[in-house]
Structures are given as structure tokens and as C-alpha cells.
Structure 1
Amino acid sequence: MVTEQPTSRPVARISGPSVIALALGVLGLALAASSLSVGAVALGHLGRHDCKATRRTGGDLATAGLTLGWLHLGLVALRALVA
């Protein structure tokens, strides 16, 4: 009786800064906290670089965090100009 060995797949490693950037971007926009949005932008850039340098996954998460962070900071700047 021949048993087949299960093939092991490499586990995709997600970049930590990318995940945190997305979380900070969502929280920064939801809570209207500019400091969280600044963190989202900084960690988003770090996460994108990390994904490219180490071939980890999560580049899309970093881009989403960057987008949300810049969106909130742009709205804050617009509100400051209008007021």
C-alpha cells in the first residue's frame, strides 16, 4: 500500500508594518485622530519597502493604510483651510 506524503506549501509571511499601517489608517479615519493617520503613513511606507525587500506579502495592506492615512490628513488640512 502506497501512501502519498502531503506536500508542504511555504507559508506566506505577511509584513507586520503593513498590517499595523492598515489598522492605524482605519482607526485614524474612524476616530478622527491625526496622530494615528501619521503613523499609518509612516508604517505604510515602511511596510511597502519591507514587502519589496523581503518578498513578503502585504503590500496591498500597506497601500491601503497609506491611502487612508493620507485621506484623513488631507481632510484635516482642508478643514483647516476652510475654517
Structure 2
Amino acid sequence: MTDGPQDPKQISPSDRFKAMITSAESATCGLKDNLLAVMTRDGSATWQTVSTHIEAQLPGAGEFATARLNAILALIRTISNGRVAEGK
């Protein structure tokens, strides 16, 4: 590990792509896609049903898909934990 930011030339293209697909913006888009998929399938959705839907995709996912799915799951946990803390 290094201290501080790395020189962009030292970051591999694979790591740059992974950073892009796991960004907050990408995770938010992925969350919306999966939320709509669950709502279309079930007629409604909860954080738990969306998480289950995403977790079901993990076993066959490759490296990049796994990274993106994990970023989306982290976003769901952050949002749902915030809602629980607020008492909603």
C-alpha cells in the first residue's frame, strides 16, 4: 500500500475501470436498475428484496460485476441503516 494518491500512470487500466464502476454515481444507477427489476417482478420492493435480488447475481459474476454488485450492496446498507437510525 502507498500513502497518498497514486500517479495515474501507475494505476492499471483494470483498477481505473473498477474504480469507475464502483463509484457512488455508478452504484446509484445500479441500485435504480435493480430496484426497478424487483418492482417489475414483484410489484413492490424493499431494501431486503433488492439486496436479495443483487446477492443472487453474485455467484456467477466475474471480477468487475462482483465489484459493482458489492458497491451497490454497500450503498443499500448505507441507505437502509440511515433509514433505521432515523426511525423510518
- Structure 1 length as normaliser, TM-score? 0.44
Q: Based on CA coordinates, which of the two structures has the bigger radius of gyration?
A: 1
- Structure 2 length as normaliser, TM-score? 0.42
